[in-house]
Structure formats: C-alpha cells, structure tokens
Amino acid sequence: MKTYKKQIVIGLVVLGVVVSGLTANALVRSNCNYDSSGNYVVNNKTYAYGTMSSAFQCALYGVLPQVVIDRLGMFGDEETKEEAKEIIKTNEDNQKKE
C-alpha cells in the first residue's frame, strides 16, 4: 500500500512540474511584444521598432516574427550586424527544440 502512495505522490509532483513549465512557456510566448506586422507594443503604446534586447528575448523562445528577423541588423556597424546574426541563430535554434 505504501508503494502506491509513493507512486501517486511522485506522479503528482512530476505532473505539477510539467504543467508549471508549460504555463511558464505560454506566458513567455504571449509576452513577446512584437505584433505580426513587426511593431513593438508595450504598455498599450505601439512603436515601429523594438530594441536588439527585446528581439533577443523573443528569440530565446523561438517566437521572433519573420518581419523582425528580415530587418534585424539592416542598419548599423559590423558589430550590430554580428549581434543580429546571433539573435537570428538563437531564434532558429529555439524553434527546433519544439
């Protein structure tokens, strides 16, 4: 009888971890502040562009919109263009994980 209780407790713990991970992932995805047209929206204000940092945050979860990817690093020096390539690669890598 004790074995069943242990298995049930372990099962519930595993289920809790999985559900909390899925919930956190959904929240992060919904917090990528780019809309489908590539505008950056925060606090009900719409901006034409976000920052490299905001693009990177979305790329960490593989949800950076294609329109943002297409213009990322378009302007700037070589360092900026290299940073853009890294963000794009990060986005691609994280899309493959799902």
Tokens of 3: 């074995």
Looking at the fold, whether 80 and 49 belong to one and the same domain comes out as: yes
Q: Residue 69 contacts by C-beta under 8 Å, 6 or more apart in sequence?
A: 88, 91
Cβ proximity of 73 and 80 under 8 Å:
yes
**Among candidate residues 42, 46, 43, 55, the one with its CA nearest the CA of residue 84:** 55
Question: What percentage of the chain has pLDDT greater than the value 90?
Answer: 54
Q: Read off the pTM.
A: 0.65
Check pLDDT > 60 for residue 24. no
More confident residue, 43 or 97: 43
Indicate whether 44 and 91 sit together in one domain.
yes
Closest CA to 51 of 94, 86, 92, 84: 84
Show the domain range for 74: 33-98
CB-facing half-sphere around the CA of 42: CA atoms within 13 A: 10
Domain identity same for 60 and 25: no
Number of domains in the chain: 2
Is 7 in the same domain as 51? Answer: no
